Structure 1
Amino acid sequence: MAGPAADGEGAGRRWFLGIATGAATAAGLGAVAGCSNDDRDGGSAKGSGAESGAESGAASESAASGGQRAPAGTHGLDVKAENALPGHADWPVGKAGPARAVEGFADKVSVLPGESFGLHVSTTAPRFTVSAYRMGWYGGARARLVWRSEALPGTRQPEPTVDAGTRTVRTRWARSATVETKDWPEGSYLLRLDAQGGEGRRFVPLTVRSATTAGRTVVVNAVATWQAYNRWGGYGSYDGPGGGFASRSLAVSFDRPYEYDDGAGLFLVYEAPLIALAERLGIPLAYTTTTDVAREKRLLEGAAAVLSLGHDEYWSPEQRAHVTAARDAGTNIAILGANCCFRRIRLEASDLGPDRTLVCYKSSYEQDPGFKRGQPATVDFRSAPGADPESSLLGVIYDGYPVDAPYVVTNPGHWLFEGTGARAGDRFEHLVGVEYDKVSTGFPTPRPIEILAHSPVVCEGRPSHQDTAYYTVPSGAGVFATGTMRWVEALDATGDGSGGRNHGLDARSGALTTRVTENLLRVFAAGPAGRTRPAQDNVKAVYGSS
């Protein structure tokens, strides 16, 4: 594997990740250019074929047996009962209306059931309403309306400011409403803001988190990564108004709306399809966020499994330590994407509360006041100082961007492929993209590790491979990594893949990823997977060396 490229990003490296769903779908696949296993200053031009081009149609429906039950004596969400309630298919924004017509953010990324949060809204309309939709399956509707406000007075809030030193966009908006969450079930929510007396709709994401995760499969909303890619106010962790890496924010704030996907951030493409599938299966679930995992050392104690969804790139050292400790205590880990646990960050307070500023200096880490005080450098985990490659936890390591390649099955007899009908050499077009991971024993790699798919890719002329892998550890935990960022998006793929929808992913890819994910979730929900399904190391057979 080639060594990391010099840190730095032009607009093209990451533009695909943030463009709203509708625009991305219209763009189609297009050509890809440039390749990096880190980020290059002044990289390729904006990539056509925006990677967030999934649509939120119904997931592929396949026969599902009854889900597992949480152990006796545990309390929490009854997933089956919740999803038996009527859904509300009218939850999407639809026509968003003019820019800045209505937008907002919550002053907490998550709350426990019954806790309140502040909603900060700016609108050109005289009044607006808030509708809280809990995201799930609900017979294919994908959401249930849990609460709706009365009409609230609207106001145009002040323009944001930009910190001269860190280029952090900050709002100092007044609180528009205090929202109580009594009787709101745990889960991932989209709050829809509707301007009254004018056009405008936007989302505000919120997690109603679980107080305990024991015996449950934990859905972790990747809010840190959502925020890093957020360019609301002109700046994000990749660039500023001029599009150059040098103009990026060195710290980004949660005290602002999300620009992408009508305010939903990266949730709809990289997380919602998996949540719909898991809730359809009825397995015991718990919900939390990356910031909660970092803050609460014991949050994952006794969890059956932890799910990292489609794009979960930005991790604090605390989050990584707590997930690693869970694995070493027997909790299964599933990485349903790629480029996971790549950036080391630090969470700091904002004016509105703790953990609402994400610090990531990247190659400029020596300028970071926190680093000067002895805190870990906010660089890539694999990079000095304090290099700790992500492969020691994930089994795979990030290898490059961008690619668009077929997914090639190499180990069809593995239990994860049961019921798929897949054969060795079967190809699933476009399923590998736009970032990918591989097994590379030049980095710390847990053993035994088993490669399930080994897909040839060419990234800016550099031949390589994408790998889907599964390893087990002495605690009994199993760790699975898809090795492709398009896995969760593919759960919604239907049809023949024409027209650019879902990046050309078709019903075959939808059926494969759905069945593999169902197999994974059922086994991981039952307890330490390595005790009944230990990995059979095949690295030498696949790569010719160990």
Structure 2
Amino acid sequence: MISVNGYPARPSVRAGDVVRLHVATEAPRFHVDFYRWGATPRHTGHVEWPGRVAAPGRFDEDWQWPAYEFRVPHDWKSGVYIAVLSTELTSDAPAMDSRDARMLLVVTPAARAAGRVLYKIPTFTYHAYNTAGGGSLYSASRVTLRRPGGGVGGPVKGLPDPYDTASPRQTFAHWDAPFISWMEGTGIDADYCTDLDLHEGRLLSDGYQLLISAGHDEYWSAQTRRNVTAFRDAGGNIANFGANTCWWRVNVSSDGAGLDCIKFPPEAPAGTDPDSSHGCPDHWWETEPENTLLGVSYRNGGGHWDGLRTPLGFTITDAEHWVFAGTGLKTGGILGSDGALIGYECDGAAYEIDEFGRHRPAGQDGTPKNFEILGVAPLPPEWNFAAREPMPSPRAATLGLFTAAGTVFTAATTDWARLLATDPQVAAITRNVITHLA
């Protein structure tokens, strides 16, 4: 079969507006079928265009493939859409996830928010791990968003996940898709956006009560963080069902098409691990700890990336909290250990034990003093740990929340979404958090 691949000019478009899709193929004609991701994928549209040939580009330069304009129908519901490219018509239902012939497109609402929940897709992180064109933010300091990949449709850096081998870790199918499937299957309605939308100041002032992120939302621009912080400080709530969140700072080019991230200390020798180093220019925690926004940081947690890991869950510290309503959990009980809930990466807060045996934030890492620690999971010594300032607290995943005008909840593990379909306690907590904060 003749190959075909492509990418959108930008990762999101408002319903009713025109989006440019860039596609290259040697076929005389090709087809694009659009599917909205939800409880199940739903076919929403089809278009056919003449094919044009173009060569692959570099990872750090706009590929400038042939452009095709597509007007998104006004009645398309906000959501994540997968554009499936093909050179032959077929009646078979295609797989939504693939390393080629797929494009991820987020449709934002045509009008001001009618609902209360906004879900953020981390396209900056997906492009950080995208290796189309021979590089990523793990081999260079700049990448372009205008190339195949970035969630679907491109090659991905990283080790396979033994707990979910169906898709690479740093993809939409691996992190966000199961969360969205559960959420929409449960009847929780949401609008959708990308981190580029939030970087540009869109949507957060449109009346939403709750911003949700899940999985692996690692790369944030200063503008994205500033706008999310302003949303929280104006009373907006945040639910972070993920980890390693806001770990690296990225600078976004003025046209929204490129990302820069300087990870290594000046004159660092070859082979330096930036996560284990101090003096990295774009480490958020070294200049403005992410704890002040989210309550936790990866530097007080850790990661286990290769193979099966010791099955860990959260030891519950306050089962009477509303977060645990209907779960049957008891204080001292453990959440999620049978499913290895803690990992592949997790976040934590520096803490101490008070005279009543309760876990309390120490505060020296930037975690607010009113952060309520609801569960802890100390990490084994064989895990991978990032650099941090000296502190007596052990490295541990730290489940909890705090309020600063708006309330911020953190699940503190990337693998939260993986257990939604199999662990009723994880599902109940997720439902409690969303319904309470929305």
Q: Same fold (TM over 0.5)?
A: yes
1:487 match: 416
Contact preservation (8 Å) 1:452, 1:467: yes
1:144 aligns with 2:42: yes
**In structure 2, what is the equivalent of residue 422 of structure 1?**
329
Q: What 5-or-longer segments of structure 1 have no aligned partner?
A: 1-96, 163-167, 239-247, 368-376, 493-506, 526-546
Of 261, 264, 273, which residue of structure 1 is paired with 2:178? Answer: 273
**Once the two structures are superposed, what CA deviation does each residue of 1:106-128 show, in whole Å capped at 9, x if it has no partner?**
11211111111111112343432
TM-score by length of 2: 0.79
Pair 1:311-2:239 in alignment: no
- Give a deviation string over 1:425-444, Cα, whole Å, max 9, x none: 22523111111111123211
Q: Which of 464, 472, 475 is equivalent to 2:403?
A: 472
Distance verdict in 2 for CA 1:346–1:365, change over 3 Å: farther
Cα distance in structure 2, aligned partners of 1:301 and 1:149 = 32
Q: What displacement does 1:485 show?
A: 0.6
Q: TM-score, normalised by structure 1?
A: 0.64
Q: How does 1:430-469 map to 2 (within 5 A)?
A: 430-440=340-350, 441-460=363-382, 464-469=395-400
- Does residue 1:223 correspond to 2:123, yes or no? yes
Distance 2:215 2:78 in 1: 21
Residue type of the alignment partner of 1:472:
T
User: Which residue in 2 is equivalent to 1:107?
Assistant: 9
Deviations for 1:337-358, whole angstroms, at most 9, x for unmatched residues? 0010111111104xxxx21101
Counterpart residue number, 1:381: 284
**Structure 2 unaligned residues grouped into runs of 5+:** 155-166, 269-279, 351-362, 386-393
Contact conserved, 1:301 with 1:326, CA < 8 A, in 2?
no
Distance 1:331 1:456, change over 3 A: same
Partner of 2:319: 412
Deviations along 1:358-391, whole A, 9 cap, x unmatched?
1112226799xxxxxxxxx9511112xxx10000
Q: Aligned letter for 2:403? A: T
Deviations 1:256-286, CA, capped at 9 Å, x for gaps:
0017754496211111122223223434422
Q: 1:186 maps to what in 2?
A: 78
Q: Are residues 310 and 356 of structure 1, via their aligned partners in 2, closer, same or farther at CA, if it must alter by over 3 Å?
A: same
Paired with 1:207 and 1:310, the residues of 2 have a C-alpha distance of 17
State the shift of 1:218 in Å: 0.7
* Counterpart AA for 2:289: P
The whole-number CA distance in structure 2 between the counterparts of 1:516 and 1:489 is 14
User: Once the 2 structures are TM-superposed, how far is the Cα of residue 401 of structure 1 from its aligned partner?
Assistant: 1.9
Alignment of 1:59-208 (within 5 A): 101-137=3-39, 142-150=40-48, 152-161=49-58, 168-175=60-67, 177-182=68-73, 183-196=75-88, 202-208=101-107
Letter of the structure 1 residue corresponding to residue 319 of structure 2: P
CA distance in 2 between partners of 1:457 and 1:361 (Å): 29
Distance 1:134 1:333 in 2: 25
With over 3 angstroms needed to count, the CA separation of the structure-2 counterparts of 1:378 and 1:224, relative to structure 1, is: farther
* Match of residue 134 from structure 2: 234
When residues 197 and 144 of structure 1 are mapped into structure 2, their CA distance, relative to the original with a 3 A threshold, is closer
Letter in structure 2 aligned against 1:489: R
Distance 1:213 1:365, change over 3 A: farther
Counterpart secondary structure, 1:363: coil
* Structure 1 moving runs of 4+ over 4 Å: 197-201, 259-265, 364-367
- Secondary structure of the 1:355 match is coil
Q: For 1:25-46, what per-residue CA distance to the aligned partner results, in whole angstroms no more than 9, with x for missing partners?
A: xxxxxxxxxxxxxxxxxxxxxx
Matched to 1:409, the amino acid is T
Instruction: Assess if the C-alpha contact under 8 Å between 1:227 and 1:252 holds in 2.
Output: yes
User: CA–CA distance in 2 between the matches of 1:233 and 1:132?
Assistant: 25
The one of 503, 514, 535 equivalent to 2:427 is 514
SS in 2 for 1:322: helix
| Alignment: residue pair count | 373
- Residue 297 (structure 1) shift: 6.2
Deviations 1:475-533 (A, max 9, x none): 2x2111011110112224xxxxxxxxxxxxxx3xx3222111111111111xxxxxxxx
For residues 126 and 215 of structure 1, the distance between their equivalents in structure 2, rounded to whole angstroms, comes to 43
Alpha-carbon displacement from aligned partner over 1:62-95 (angstroms, at most 9, x marks no partner)? xxxxxxxxxxxxxxxxxxxxxxxxxxxxxxxxxx
C-alpha separation in 1, matches of 2:199 and 2:26: 37
8 A Cα contact 2:119 2:190, kept in partner: yes
1:269-326 CA distances to partner (integer Å, 9 max, x unpaired)? 1111222232234344221110111111673353201111211111111111111111
- Counterpart residue type for residue 128 of structure 1: F
1:214·1:304 contact (CA, 8 Å) conserved in 2?
Answer: no
* CA distance in 2: counterparts of 1:108 and 1:282, whole angstroms: 29
- Aligned counterparts of 2:283 and 2:114: Cα–Cα separation in 1: 31
Instruction: Note the C-alpha offset of 1:185.
Output: 1.7
1:356 equivalenced with 2:356 (yes/no): no
- Identical counterparts, % of pairs: 32
Task: Give the match for residue 336 of structure 1.
Answer: 241
Aligned mates of 1:335, 1:270 — CA distance in 2 = 13
Looking at structure 2, the residues matched to 314 and 489 of structure 1 have their Cα atoms a distance apart, in angstroms, of 21
Q: Compute the RMSD of aligned alpha carbons.
A: 2.7
* Amino acid corresponding to residue 326 of structure 2 in structure 1: G
Q: Helix, strand or coil: the match of 1:266?
A: coil
3-state SS of 1:193 partner? strand
The residue that corresponds to 1:258 in the other structure is 149
2:256 aligned partner, one-letter code = D
- Indicate conservation of the 8 Å contact 1:111/1:209, yes or no: yes
Distance in 1 separating the partners of 2:324 and 2:26: 52
